[in-house]
Structure 1
Amino acid sequence: MVRRTKATTIAEVAQHAGVSPATVSRVMNDRFLGAPEIADRVRASARQLEYSPNHLARSFALGQTNAIGFLVPDLANPSFQAVLSGLSKAAGAEGYRVLVADSAESAEDEPLLAAEIRRRCDALVLCAPRMAEDSLVHATATLGPVVLMNRSSSSVTAPTLSVDSRSGFEALARHLHGLGHRRLAYVEGPAGVANERRLQGLADFQGSVEGVTVERVAGGAGSEHGLEAVDAVIRTRATAALAFNDLVAVGLVHGLVESGIRVPDDISVTGFDDIPFARFMSPSLTTASVPHEVLGTLAWARMRALIAGTTPEHDVVFQPRLEVRRSTAAPRRA
């Protein structure tokens, strides 16, 4: 093999193979339609001369980057990490890479971040459960191809993959009711669609039973918010608390135990998402399970169709599965 001290040019490969630079370009970009022996000769010359295509130049020339963007509210949340894992594996198997943008739970910044990352890639997977509806409609209309995750909207034409958190929260409340709990507390998440859907689920539950109260407690999306909500939850005198998500539940359980409140003996606690840690914490967390890695895989399948100009598969709404663990039990009798 020839050892070279500088990068080989496409013209040098063309001269070595006895073809035009345009032929080399078409062969290296898998767009050559001529005789197979010519393509083989070009590739052999490229290997011998240690030619490495300039992928950045190729991206500009072809108008593609072989990268897709993924915008999330908080990459520290294991749920979004699982989605990214599924998305990256599926896209990587077909030569695509994923660029990630984290809005740090700032729904106001998400439209700008979405536009910025979209300029650097071929398409965008938008996970914006708290973005304002008008901003969401504008983003999906102007930044396509877009696949929308963790959100559904009748005003959006982009493919969507979402989770029915409304029914998931109703199922959690019914589980607590079935254990005998009649006074519940809900540690809320950040303002937005995701929190509203959970409140709707609780309203559905309350509308179908009698003698149940649900106290709303300010919270957020992280473990620190669950920890900060401990005193307010105790003041509600609830026998069971539903947390916005598993991370909030983890902080809440930790804070309750530190305050001398036993879980589930004194108060039951539920989460939402079924992050990996949920089953290993003490006590293990009752939650609503969502297949986040599957969501990532399905997102790529729809994105691939959009990039190829074909019709993507149908939209999907996942029904969370109730996972009953040791953080919930019947309330103590007075």
Structure 2
Amino acid sequence: MVAKAAGVSTATVSRVMSGNPAVSPDLAARVHAVAEEMAYRPSGAARGLALGSLRNVGVILPDLANAYFFDTVKQMHHAARTDGYRMLVADYSGTADDEYSTAVDLLGQVDGLILLSSRIPVSGLKDLAAQSTPVVLVNRVELGVDLPMVAVDNFTAMMELCGHLAQLGHRRVVYVAGSDLSWQNRERWRAVEMSKVLGIESFRVDSDGTIEGGFNVAESALAQEPTALICFNDLTAVGAISKLRELGVRVPADVSVTGFDDVEIARHIAPPLTTVQSPKAQLGDQAWRLLQEALRNEPGASAPMLDAKVVIRDSTGPVSTGVSTGTD
């Protein structure tokens, strides 16, 4: 309609709207004036296809309800918007097959894709690495996969957290786990197992990284008679503390509890949670830098693993001589 009203071809309108300097200034001004009169807005998708770029990037993450992912994605979004990209965010059912299918579906709609805490098997990651659309792996490190990667050093931070508990006299702990598909969960459990060098005996109770999951397994974790619960993340710890309170078990007087990630709620529960502060903003910045390099076809070296810091609050304390059950 704009082309007809301006007396030009649709190709000319397309060139004007894309800023092509080959169109004369007078003709461009005429087309813009007609477009403004008709309240015309060019299709971003059509323009992107003409220019060979959609100006969209995708992010796939396991759980939109988890504040940890929100903070990281928010940082990536700021950087993407500054560079003129829209960000499409998707989560999935939690299964590796669903995540892979979501990734494949998004590849045709974006210029680049970020997989945050991916659960996709190595074979699937290799398939994605072979595609023409750049893919960046965040919070997972896999040898033999040709993808840019950046991750937080979960192992060292968890060892430091175990060292804190050892200094308080804890020798028997239960790790309340996250998903078996999570690289972060595997790294954290590896560190807890390694804490035997600190004199700590560890047991494991499986959960799913949610508040409800932590609540549901806290009682079975207590059956191992630990002096501390080391939770996969802060949400798990919040759920565990809620169940301990219901059972009359005092934190930390009877049992110490730790989390991981330092999401906002960790500072505001009672007692405030001892945890590990994950560098969420730095992680988001590094992820965008890697994708930006890939979009420019300038593959650089993957960033080194980022350091995380133990934050000691009131949910950990010296070993108690016995656990109160609230029944005496």
Hey, what does 1:275 align to over in structure 2?
Answer: 263
Q: SS of 1:263's equivalent?
A: coil
Aligned length: 321
Q: 1:97 aligns with which of 76, 86, 91?
A: 86
| SS of structure 2 residue aligned to 1:326 | coil
* Paired position in structure 2 for 1:3: none
Would the aligned equivalents of 1:189 and 1:219 in 2 still touch at CA under 8 Å?
yes
CA RMSD between the two structures: 2.2
Q: Which runs of 5+ in 2 are unaligned?
A: 323-328
Closer/same/farther in 2, CA of residues 45 and 311 from structure 1, 3 Å limit: farther
Taking the aligned partners of 1:260 and 1:146, their CA distance within structure 2 comes to 48
Whether 1:245 and 2:233 are equivalent positions in the alignment is: yes
Q: Is the 8 A contact 2:12 2:23 kept in 1?
A: no
1:10 pairs with 2:3? yes
Separation in 2, partners of 1:61, 1:122: 14
- Note the C-alpha offset of 1:87: 1.5
TM-score (norm 2): 0.90
DSSP-derived class of the 2:60 partner: strand
What SS is found at the alignment partner of 1:318? coil
Q: Does 1:315 align with 2:303?
A: yes
Flag structure 1 segments of 5+ consecutive residues without an equivalent.
1-7
What letter corresponds to residue 142 of structure 1 in structure 2?
A: Q
Asked whether 1:147 is paired with 2:130, we answer no
Measure how far apart 1:332 and its partner are: 2.1
Which residue type is aligned with residue 137 of structure 2? L
Moved more, 235-244 or 286-295: 286-295
What is the match of residue 64 of structure 2?
Answer: 75
Q: Partners in 1 of 2:19 and 2:143 — Cα distance?
A: 40
SS in 2 for 1:216: strand
Change (3 A) 1:33 1:264: farther
Partner of 1:290: 278
Distance 1:202 1:109, change over 3 A: same
**Identity in percent:** 35
Q: What SS is found at the alignment partner of 2:249? A: coil
Answer whether contact 2:3 2:9 (CA < 8 A) is retained: no
Where in structure 2 are the equivalents of 1:31-110 lying within 5 Å?
31-33=20-22, 39=28, 42-110=31-99
Give CA-to-partner distance per residue, 1:63-103, whole Å, 9 cap, x none: 43221111111111111111221122221223221112212
Contact 1:182–1:213 (CA under 8 A) maintained in structure 2: yes
Task: Give the whole-Å Cα distance in 2 for the aligned partners of 1:62 and 1:35.
Answer: 20
Deviation digits for residues 142-197 of structure 1, max 9, x if unmatched?
26311111111222222211111111211111110111111111111111333221
Q: Structure 1 pair 33/322, CA: closer, same or farther in 2 (3 Å)? A: farther
In structure 2, the residue matched to 1:116 is 105
Q: 1:141 to 1:315 in 2, by over 3 A?
A: farther
Q: Provide the residue aligned with 1:200 in structure 2.
A: 190
* Closer, same or farther: CA 38–10 of 1 in aligned 2, 3 Å: closer
State the TM-score, normalizing by the size of structure 1.
Answer: 0.88
> How far apart are the structure 1 equivalents of 2:256 and 2:209?
19
* Residue 34 of structure 1: how far off its partner (Å): 5.9
**Per-residue deviation, residues 185-235 of structure 1 (Å, max 9, x unmatched):** 11111113332211221233223x23x211111222111111111111211
- Taking the aligned partners of 1:205 and 1:146, their CA distance within structure 2 comes to 35
Is the Cα–Cα contact under 8 Å of residues 2 and 35 in structure 2 kept in the other structure?
no
Instruction: Report matched runs for 1:160-199 at 5 Å.
Output: 160-192=149-181, 193-199=183-189
Report which stretch shifted further, 34-43 or 144-153: 34-43
